[in-house]
Amino acid sequence: MATIKEVAKRTGMSPTTVSRVINNHPYVDDKKRRIVLEAMDELGYVPNSSARRLRGQKTNTIAVIISRIVNPFFSHLVDAMELIAGEKGYQLILCDSRLDKERELRHLELLKAKQVDGVILASLQNDWETIKPFTKYGPIVMCNEYDRRAELPMIRCNQYEGGYIGTKHLIEKGHTNIAYAGGANRIELTYDRWKGFMKAMDEHGLTIPDEWMFPSFYGIEDGKNIFHRIYAMQNGPTAIFAGGDEVAAGIIQEAKRFHCRVPDDLAVVGYDDQPLASLIDPGITTINQPTKLMGTRAMEIMVDMIKNQRKVTFKEEILPLELVIRQST
Amino acid sequence: MATIKEVAKRTGMSPTTVSRVINNHPYVDDKKRRIVLEAMDELGYVPNSSARRLRGQKTNTIAVIISRIVNPFFSHLVDAMELIAGEKGYQLILCDSRLDKERELRHLELLKAKQVDGVILASLQNDWETIKPFTKYGPIVMCNEYDRRAELPMIRCNQYEGGYIGTKHLIEKGHTNIAYAGGANRIELTYDRWKGFMKAMDEHGLTIPDEWMFPSFYGIEDGKNIFHRIYAMQNGPTAIFAGGDEVAAGIIQEAKRFHCRVPDDLAVVGYDDQPLASLIDPGITTINQPTKLMGTRAMEIMVDMIKNQRKVTFKEEILPLELVIRQST
DNA sequence: CTGAAAGCGCTTACAG
DNA sequence: CTGAAAGCGCTTACAG
C-alpha cells in the first residue's frame, strides 16, 4: 500500500535517500538510515515489484518449460531448479507445454514481452528453426532436450549411451528378439537413444522388425497398450526397451495380469529410474538419469547468464547415464 | 526491444492510438488500425509486461505454494491449476515450502511486494495467526489445507470422513489392533483425519496405544522406517492406516522384503490414490482425493476473486473422499 | 475518432 | 552524504 513517497514524507527525507536505504546503498547517514528503516517498518512498506521491474529492466523471474509436470522425471527436475532459483533470488514460472507445440511457443513468448529474464527449455515440441528467433529476446538454456543445430547452453544426458547400455544388457541376458518403445525419432534426444539401441543390435548382428517399434508413448496406459500389441503377436519379442519407467510399469503390470512372466516371458528395460522403478514387483531395470544435477546445472547456468549478461556462451554439458539392474530383466 | 513510441513514430500516430490498437479498444479508424498492426508486426513489437504491470496495478500472475512438488499429489494439483491459469490468462509461480515455515512465509511475501495478484496456499506450516496478516495484501485461497479459524475461501476434502472410512474398512476386515500414521495432529487437516480414525475406533470399542501412532511421516523411506518399528514390536498391530500412498508403499515394500505378508500379517490403508497405488503389488487400498477438481476449483475461485475484486467472500467447498479397495487390506 | 499530458513507483545519473 | 529531476513503457482520463 505505502509507497516510497509516503516513507519520504513521513521521515522528511527525499525518495532518493529512502531508495538508497532500501537498496543498502552506502553513503547514507547512519542515523537517517535508522529513521527510514523505522518508518518503513511502521508503514509496512515493501518496495513495489512492478516499479522495480520497469525501472531496472529486469524481472528476477525465470520461466521453466517442461512437457508434463505429473511425470516424476519433470517434477524432480523442477524441484531442483526451484531450489536453486530461490537461493539466487529468482522466482520460477512453471510452464507446461503438455506435449503441445502451440503451448510451448506461447510460453516462449514470455521472453518477448520481457516477462521473464530467461527461459529454461526442458520441452522440445518444435524444431530448432522455430525456436531460434526467440534467442534474440533473451537467454535460453536447454535442459535434457537438445538439438544439434542449436547454439545454446545445453545440459543433457548422453542418450546414445543410454540406448546402448540398456540394449546391450538385454542382449547379454540372451535376448535376440528385442522391441523398442524409446520414443519418436523426430526428436534428437530419442533419435540418439535409438542410435544407441541400433549400435548394440548391430554389434550382435541383430535386427528389429517395424512392428516392434513403438514411437511416442509416455504413460502407464501407453505401456499397457504396448503390452497388448505384443501379446497379440505370433512370434513376438522376448524383451523390450521402453523409453520411460511409466511405460515399463504399464507393460509389467499388464503382463502380470495376463500371466505373462517378467522377465522370463518378457524382459523390460525402463528409463529414468523413478521411485516407482524400485517399488513395483519385479523392480524395473532402468537407466538412471542425474535429474537433480541436470536441473541444478541448468538453473545455475541460466542465472549466470542473466547476472553477467553473457551472450550465448554456447556450451554443452553431457552428463553420464547409468544402468540400474533390477528384476525385470 | 521496440517500444510503443517507436511504433507511434513509424506510423505517424500518437502512442495513445497505438495503445488503443494493442488493447483492441473500439473507436479506432479501421485503416489506422491496420497500419499500426502492420508496423507492430514489422518491428516485432510486443508490449512490455513490466510497464503494463506498473500502470495497470496488476500482474496477471498467481503464486501457488505447495509443500513438495515431487509428491505426486502436489504435481497433479499443480497440473490442474496450471491448466486453468493458462486458460484464464494467468502465469503461475511455483513456490515450494519444502515443509519449512520460513520458506512458506517468504513466499507469502510475494503478495506484499505486489509481485502476484493472489496466492493459493496448498501448504500450511504456519498457524493461522501468522498467515492472517497477509490477507490484507491480496486474495489468498486455501487448497487442501485448511484451518477452522481462517476466513478465506477453502477448497478441501472431508478429512474426517477419510479417516473414518479407511479405518472402518480395516475394522470390517476384522482388525482390532490398528496403528496410525496419518500425520501430525497439530495440523487441522490431519487432526480431522485422526478424529475420523478415532470415531471409527470408538464405535467398535477399540483403542490405540501411543507406540502405534506415527506422526509426521511423508515419503517412502519413512514408510520403511515405520515398518521396521512395527516389525520389532512384540504384539504389534495387524493393520495400519497410513497418511499417504508413498508411506504405504514404503511399508508394503519393506514388509515383502522381510516376508511379512500383506494383508495377512499386516493390512495397509494408504491415502491419495496416486498412480503408484495401483501399480505396486499388492495394490494399495487407499482414499481417493479429487485432486484435479480441488486444483481446478481453487484456481477458478482465485481468478474470480482477482477479476471481480471480491473481498474475502468466505466460503468453503468440501469435496467428498472415496475408499478404493485393492489388495493391501 | 484522436492526441497531449499525467502518472503508476521506483532508481540513477547529475549536481551540489 | 543528499535531493531534484528524468525516465523506465505503458494506459487512461480529459479535452477536443
How many residues would you count in chain A?
329
Q: Which residues pair with A13 in a beta bridge?
A: none
**Residue B9 CA to nucleotide D12 C1', Å?**
20
Place of cell 474475502: B312
pLDDT digits (tens, 9 = 90+) for B230-261: 999 999 999 999 989 999 999 999 999 999 99
Taking the CA of residue A201 and the nearest CA in chain B, the distance in Å comes to 31
* Protein-covered nucleotides on strand D (Cβ within 7 A): 1-5, 7-13
Contact of A58 with A115, CB cutoff 8 Å: no
The class (CATH top level) of B159-288 is: alpha beta
Q: Which pLDDT does position B312 carry in this prediction?
A: 66
Q: Which of residues 244-263 of A touch B (CB under 8 A)?
A: 246, 249, 253, 256
- Return the nearest residue to C6, CA–C1': B55
Percentage above 70 pLDDT, chain B: 99
User: Which three-class secondary structure state does DSSP give residue B322?
Assistant: strand
B145 pLDDT higher than 70: yes
Choose the CATH number for B58-157+293-321 among 3.40.50.800, 3.30.70.270, 3.40.50.2300, 1.10.1200.10. 3.40.50.2300
Q: Distance (Å, rounded) from C-alpha A312 to C-alpha A302?
A: 11
Q: Which pLDDT does position B184 carry in this prediction?
A: 80
Greatest alpha-carbon pair distance for chain A in Å reads: 89
* Protein-covered nucleotides on strand C (Cβ within 7 A): 1-5, 7-13
As given in the structure block, the three cell numbers for residue B13 are: 500516430
- How much is the mean pLDDT over chain B? 94
Q: Distance (Å, rounded) from C-alpha A6 to C-alpha A46?
A: 12
The class (CATH top level) of A4-47 is: mainly alpha
A72 touches chain B (CB under 8 A): yes
Among the partner-chain residues A98, A115, A220, the one whose CB lies closest to the CB of B275 is A220
User: What pLDDT tens digit does each residue of chain A (329 aa) get?
Assistant: 789 999 999 999 999 999 999 999 888 888 889 999 999 999 999 999 999 999 999 999 999 999 999 999 999 999 999 999 999 999 999 999 999 999 999 999 999 999 999 999 999 999 999 999 999 999 999 999 999 999 899 999 999 999 999 999 999 999 999 999 988 888 899 999 999 999 999 999 999 999 999 987 778 999 999 999 999 999 999 999 998 999 999 999 999 999 999 999 999 999 999 989 999 989 999 999 999 999 999 999 999 999 987 776 678 999 999 999 999 99
Write out the E strands in chain B.
Answer: 61-66, 91-96, 118-122, 140-143, 154-157, 178-181, 239-242, 267-269, 286-288, 316-319, 322-324
Q: Which nucleotide is nearest to A5 (CA to C1')?
A: C9
Q: Does domain A59-157+291-321 have CATH number 3.40.50.2300?
A: yes
Q: Which of residues 174-213 of A touch B (CB under 8 A)?
A: none
Taking the CA of residue A162 and the nearest CA in chain B, the distance in Å comes to 24
Pick from B176, B204, B182: nearest CA to B195: B182
pLDDT digits (tens, 9 = 90+) for B98-123: 999 999 999 999 999 999 999 999 99
Among the partner-chain residues B49, B103, B113, the one whose CB lies closest to the CB of A48 is B113
B58-157+293-321 and B159-288, same CATH topology: yes
Q: Hey, where are the domains in chain B?
A: 4-47, 58-157+293-321, 159-288
B70 touches chain A (CB under 8 A): yes
The residues, ordered by sequence, that sit 6+ positions from B305 with a Cβ below 8 Å of its Cβ are B118, B139, B141, B153, B313
B174 pLDDT higher than 90: yes
Q: Which chain A residues are within 8 Å of B275, Cβ to Cβ? A: 220, 246, 276
Q: How confident is the model at residue B183 (pLDDT cuts 50, 70, 90)?
A: confident
**Residue/partner pairs of A145-152 with CB below 8 Å, 24 or more apart:** A145/A121, A145/A187, A145/A188, A145/A189, A146/A188, A146/A189, A146/A316, A147/A188, A148/A188, A151/A312, A151/A314, A152/A312, A152/A314
B76 pLDDT higher than 80: yes
Contact of B70 with A75, CB cutoff 8 Å: yes
Contact of B155 with B315, CB cutoff 8 Å: no
B93 pLDDT higher than 80: yes
A232 touches chain B (CB under 8 A): no
- Using the beta-carbon criterion (under 8 Å), do B49 and A114 form an inter-chain contact? yes
B213: DSSP letter: B
pLDDT digits (tens, 9 = 90+) for B23-72: 998 888 889 999 999 999 999 999 999 999 999 999 999 999 999 999 99
Among the partner-chain residues B1, B94, B98, the one whose CB lies closest to the CB of A78 is B94
Q: Which pLDDT does position A312 carry in this prediction?
A: 66
Task: Tell me which of A88, A99, A109, A115 to substitute to probe the interface with B (most B C-beta atoms closer than 10 Å).
Answer: A115
Q: Which pLDDT does position A216 carry in this prediction?
A: 74
A47 touches chain B (CB under 8 A): yes
Quick one: average pLDDT of B122-128? Answer: 94
pLDDT digits (tens, 9 = 90+) for B299-318: 999 999 999 877 766 789 99
